[in-house]
Amino acid sequence: MGTKTVIVGGDAAGMSAAAQIRRVAPSAEVVVFEKTNFASYASCGMPYYIAGDIASHEDLLALSAQEIADRGIDVRYGHAVEEIRPGARIIAGRTRSGQPFDEPYDHLVLATGGTAVRPAWWSELEGLFTLRSLEDGIALRTFIDEHRPRRAVVIGAGFIGLEMVESLARRGLEVTLVGRSPHLLGDFDRTFAAPVYDAMRHCGVALNLAQSVQGLAGDSGRITHVETDVERLQADMVLVATGLEPSAGLARAAGLAMGRSGAIAVDDQMQTSRTGIWAAGDCVEVKHVVSGQKVHKPLALTANRTGRIAGDQVGSAVVGRSSAQRFRGTAGSLITRVLDYGLAQTGLSLGEAKRAGFDAVSFERESRSRARYYPGSKPLKTRIVVERRTRRLLGAQMVGEEGVVGRIDALATALFARMTVDEVHHLDLAYAPPFGPVYDAIIDVCGKAALEI
């Protein structure tokens, strides 16, 4: 065809775009520039790789280098793109060994991802980590294997922080979790998620919540302490998991429009403000299905999906068709496992709903994962956020040892359908004693809301 697509970034979004282009336009030329030595890896699996549940980092590769080549995708590893020249349709950069390179393109997809936030107190010390790329994961596991650290401090109580607390505790480390918020995952407070807080303490994890880190201390270039506004914590290793910011510098420098979140602005087909340039994944902001606002929600499914949509656009352009694929919104749906518990959320928290301008109220209910009389039944807690006037469901959180995963998805489905709590309360859901009570947790909590709102 003589049409070349260049993709910057070879993880979920970039490789999804590449694969979709080749699916739609099998003869299209696709070149992916990836700054690390790995492409197409499952970054969400890294905590389990570090814990030792997954033997090798190669198990985390969705496609091996050979499989990528077999699909006709040309990945240039260790190639950091440093500049886009949209007028000339050229990108340029430098390899790890310092060799400059440049490449012309007809279509460009930016899948530059996100960067782990490095707070102001960051300093270059051995034993200090963030967890973003597979190389970060390998470095972390290698450090544990080689140095056998005894005390770890995890900074940040979001899902990466929580998964790493478990991972490190299971590697036998004494773990302290430091979080600025008094709650886990932003919205899982000590009352709602009491069993998770208890389980962490029973595992020997120290919970230093509602504390902020003031600085780090080291000795001979190696980390030794974390200073919070409350105490000084000994540490042989520290993981900073305080968030992810969009890697949008390249796009900004090229003059592409940015969103208010600081991520690249795109339409629902992942088109940037400049014709011929698409962007997808953790570097873009997308529409929230509940608030309608543009948000930066760097999550795996959205990265894969927006990559595929961008690829469908490009592939369709190459073959002269138009693509019907549109991004229909994120609900910020999330699940994470902490010790034996699943913690999940979808839509807006109460705080987010109020900040988005909703007159919102929340309802909580404890249910069971199996019928009351059925052996092994576990508590299952649900909180929902509801708009008072319209009775519309705006969001939900769940926590429990079993039965969380699909149920949060049913609530996510209700959000996309803009259902009221009355409608959810009257859903006909599947029941049998080994799987829940007759009035399922979801039905039950929405019934409470329908009655009390």
Does residue 311 interact with a copy of itself by CB under 8 A? no
Q: Which one of residues 305, 368, 383, 392 is an interface residue with a copy of itself (CB under 8 A)?
A: 305
3-state helix, strand, coil in the chain (%, to 5): 30, 30, 40
Task: Give the rounded distance of the alpha carbon of 263 from its chain centre.
Answer: 15
Q: How far apart are the C-alpha atoms of 423 and 386, rounded to whole Å?
A: 13
User: Dihedral of the CA atoms 419, 397, 306, 103 (nearest 10)?
Assistant: 160
The two beta strands, 100-104 and 107-110, are unpaired
Task: Give the rounded distance of the alpha carbon of 409 from its chain centre.
Answer: 16
Does residue 436 interact with a copy of itself by CB under 8 A? yes
For a copy of itself, give the closer residue by CB, 59 or 231: 59
Q: Which one of residues 194, 227, 409, 448 is an interface residue with a copy of itself (CB under 8 A)?
A: 409
Q: Which one of residues 96, 321, 328, 355 is an interface residue with a copy of itself (CB under 8 A)?
A: 328
* Residues β-bridged to residue 364: 383
For a copy of itself, give the closer residue by CB, 133 or 330: 330
For a copy of itself, give the closer residue by CB, 176 or 345: 345
For a copy of itself, give the closer residue by CB, 266 or 424: 424
State the amino acid at position 22 in one-letter form. Answer: R
Does residue 203 interact with a copy of itself by CB under 8 A? no
Q: Which one of residues 148, 232, 355, 426 is an interface residue with a copy of itself (CB under 8 A)?
A: 426
First vs last Cα of the chain: how many Å apart?
60
Q: Which one of residues 40, 228, 302, 349 is an interface residue with a copy of itself (CB under 8 A)?
A: 302
Q: How far is the CB of 84 from a copy of itself (least distance, A)?
A: 28
For a copy of itself, give the closer residue by CB, 60 or 153: 60
329-388: which residues touch a copy of itself (CB under 8 A)?
329-337, 342, 344-346, 371, 373-375
Q: Which one of residues 124, 146, 219, 428 is an interface residue with a copy of itself (CB under 8 A)?
A: 428
Does residue 453 interact with a copy of itself by CB under 8 A? no
Does residue 48 interact with a copy of itself by CB under 8 A? yes
Q: Which one of residues 50, 223, 299, 350 is an interface residue with a copy of itself (CB under 8 A)?
A: 299
Q: Under DSSP, is residue 264 helix (H, G, I), strand (E, B) or coil?
A: strand
**How many positions of this chain bind a copy of itself (CB under 8 A)?**
70
Q: How many angstroms separate the Cα of 180 from the Cα of each of 236, 243, 288, 405, 449?
A: 21, 12, 25, 27, 31
The pair of structure tokens assigned to 176 is 């302290």
Catalytic positions, written as ranges: 44
* Residues β-bridged to residue 278: 109, 271
For a copy of itself, give the closer residue by CB, 74 or 402: 402
Residue length of the chain: 453
71-110: which residues touch a copy of itself (CB under 8 A)?
none
Q: How far is the CB of 121 from a copy of itself (least distance, A)?
A: 29
254-257 long-range Cβ contacts below 8 angstroms, 24+ apart:
254/83, 254/84, 254/85, 254/86, 255/86
Q: How far apart are the C-alpha atoms of 402 and 369, rounded to whole Å?
A: 6
Does residue 229 interact with a copy of itself by CB under 8 A? no
Q: How far apart are the C-alpha atoms of 77 and 95, rounded to whole Å?
A: 8
Q: Is 22 in contact with 46 (CB distance < 8 Å)? A: no
The vertex-21 CA angle with 13 and 133, nearest 5°, equals: 20
For a copy of itself, give the closer residue by CB, 274 or 448: 448
Closest CA to 134 of 58, 22, 195, 242: 58
Binding mask 3-42 for a copy of itself (x = CB under 8 A): ---------x-----------------------------x
For a copy of itself, give the closer residue by CB, 6 or 442: 442
> Considering only 90-98, 228-236, 356-364, 402-410, which stretch makes contact with a copy of itself by CB under 8 A?
402-410
Residues that bind a copy of itself (CB under 8 A): 12, 42, 44-45, 48, 53-54, 59-60, 159, 163, 289, 299-302, 304-305, 326-337, 342, 344-346, 371, 373-375, 403-410, 412-414, 416-417, 419, 423-424, 426-436, 438-440, 442-443
